[in-house]
């Protein structure tokens, strides 16, 4: 067995029932499988826990299992490892990155902070451990507005890296945070014209929007929220149709939890590509999950000096979220 290109390179034995074998290996290894809502359907269906970034961080901090297999992207694995350094944290394909995290290199962010002294630094969880180590408090899309509001109105704040989430928070809270100019390639691809056309064609359809989307999409939304919040809205709503402006993996849980409702993935600007799929999230396959459990690899490692700094703003996020009643 070798680990190359970010994942275990080993043949899958012929004729095995991959799903059964994954469940057997999971028991044998005393592992817990966590999956983000953007994962492939078959991965979501095998997971012990499915959640948004906040829920996954919270679960990683709490689990007793010695092995966490995190079916998500690299920064999610890093967050789990930072919160549970004594555990083996495995991401079945370490090359599952994030265009938003990549839009904020740590050395450039450090210079930005130095050029703007006296600011509290608030970073979205979609960042590298090195960026978190430069941060005062981490947020996710589930708690960002409330955490920013927990600071005095005149607090000078740097917010990174998502310009859309940052501008959304500024508009909701009346703050004037300095916002890093980063973005996610999936959430910036939606076409407002096509979304409005879809709404015209589907009378009472509600528009659900992740805050990583740009303003023209956010302002037509019936609900702006994290993946978890959008799912919750769909379950609670009396409406029967929804246009979903986020990564299309979330539709699986929406459909499962609301069998009588219709969910329409919002189309991207370029009709020829599957831009509303996160190519990084979709790198995790059943084969890679199987091999990662079989060989307990590849493991996420975070440099101890970075982890010692990064754990502080992540724990602060969990503490504030608990105090605000956002998590139990
Ligand atoms: P959530 O925290 O809303 O699940 O978002 C994670 C993410 O990567 C959005 O693109
Ligand atoms: Fe990153 Fe965007 Fe993929 Fe989320 S959807 S993991 S922000 S690239």
pLDDT tens column, 250-280: 999 999 999 999 999 998 887 666 668 999 9
pLDDT (0 to 100) of residue 26:
98
Mean pLDDT, range 210-227, rounded to an integer: 97
164 lines ligand 1 (CB under 6 A): no
pLDDT tens column, 97-118: 999 999 999 999 999 999 999 9
Pocket lining for ligand 2, CB < 6 angstroms: 73, 98-100, 126, 184-186, 247, 278, 280-281
pLDDT (0 to 100) of residue 39:
98
pLDDT (0 to 100) of residue 256:
97
pLDDT (0 to 100) of residue 1:
86
Token code pair at residue 129:
């451990």
Instruction: Note the ligand closest to the C-alpha atom of 231.
Output: 1
SS3 27: helix
Alpha-carbon torsion angle 70, 45, 250, 278, nearest 10: 50
The Å distance, Cα 237 to ligand 1 centre, comes to 21
User: SS3 breakdown of the chain: % helix, strand, coil, rounded to 5?
Assistant: 40, 15, 40
pLDDT tens column, 21-37: 999 999 999 999 999 99
140 lines ligand 1 (CB under 6 A): yes
pLDDT tens column, 178-190: 999 999 999 999 9
Mean pLDDT, range 194-215, rounded to an integer: 95
184 lines ligand 1 (CB under 6 A): yes
The Å distance, Cα 282 to ligand 2 centre, comes to 11
Asked if 103 contacts 141 with a C-beta cutoff of 8 angstroms, the reply is no
Mean pLDDT, range 218-243, rounded to an integer: 97
pLDDT (0 to 100) of residue 273:
64
Q: Whose CA is nearest to atom 3 of ligand 2?
A: 278
pLDDT tens column, 41-94: 999 999 999 999 989 999 998 999 999 999 999 999 999 999 999 999 999 999
Instruction: Note the ligand closest to the C-alpha atom of 53.
Output: 1
Alpha helices, H only, the chain? 18-28, 41-46, 53-62, 74-83, 99-102, 106-115, 129-132, 144-149, 163-173, 192-201, 215-218, 227-236, 250-257, 286-295, 304-323
Instruction: Note the ligand closest to the C-alpha atom of 279.
Output: 2
Q: Which of 123, 210, 275 to mutate to test the pocket of ligand 1 (most atoms within 8 A of CB)?
A: 210
Mean pLDDT, range 127-141, rounded to an integer: 98
58 lines ligand 1 (CB under 6 A): no
Please, which pLDDT band fits residue 10 given cuts at 50, 70 and 90? very high
């Amino acid at each position: 067995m070798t680990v190359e290109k970010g994942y275990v390179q080993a043949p899958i034995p012929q004729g095995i029932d991959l799903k059964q074998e994954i469940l057997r290996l999971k028991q044998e290894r005393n592992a817990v499988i966590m999956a983000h809502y953007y994962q492939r359907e078959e991965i979501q269906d095998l997971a012990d826990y499915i959640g948004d970034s906040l829920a996954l961080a919270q679960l990683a901090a709490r689990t007793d299992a010695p092995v966490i297999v995190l079916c998500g992207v690299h920064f999610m694995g890093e967050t789990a490892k930072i919160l549970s350094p004594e555990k083996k944290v495995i991401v079945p394909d370490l090359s599952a990155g994030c265009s938003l995290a990549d839009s904020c290199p740590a050395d450039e962010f450090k210079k930005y902070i130095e050029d703007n002294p006296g600011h509290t630094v608030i970073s979205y969880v979609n960042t590298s451990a090195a960026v978190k180590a430069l941060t005062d408090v981490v947020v996710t899309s589930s708690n960002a507005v409330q955490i920013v509001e927990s600071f005095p109105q005149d607090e000078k704040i740097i917010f990174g890296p998502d310009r859309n989430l940052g501008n959304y928070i500024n508009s909701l809270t009346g703050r004037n945070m300095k916002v890093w100019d980063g973005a996610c390639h999936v959430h910036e691809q939606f076409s407002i014209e096509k979304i409005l056309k879809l709404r015209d064609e589907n009378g009472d359809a509600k528009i659900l929007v992740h805050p990583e989307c740009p303003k023209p999409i956010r302002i037509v939304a019936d609900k702006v929220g994290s993946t978890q919040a959008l799912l919750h809205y769909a379950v609670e709503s009396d409406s029967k149709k929804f246009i979903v402006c986020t990564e299309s993996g979330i539709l699986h849980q929406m459909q499962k939890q609301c069998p009588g409702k219709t969910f329409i993935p919002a189309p991207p600007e370029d009709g020829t590509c599957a831009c509303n799929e996160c190519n990084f999230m979709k790198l995790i396959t059943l084969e890679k999950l199987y091999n990662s459990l079989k060989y307990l690899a590849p493991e996420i490692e975070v440099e101890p000096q970075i982890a010692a700094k990064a754990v502080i703003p992540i724990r602060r996020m969990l503490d504030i979220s608990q105090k605000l009643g956002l998590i139990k």
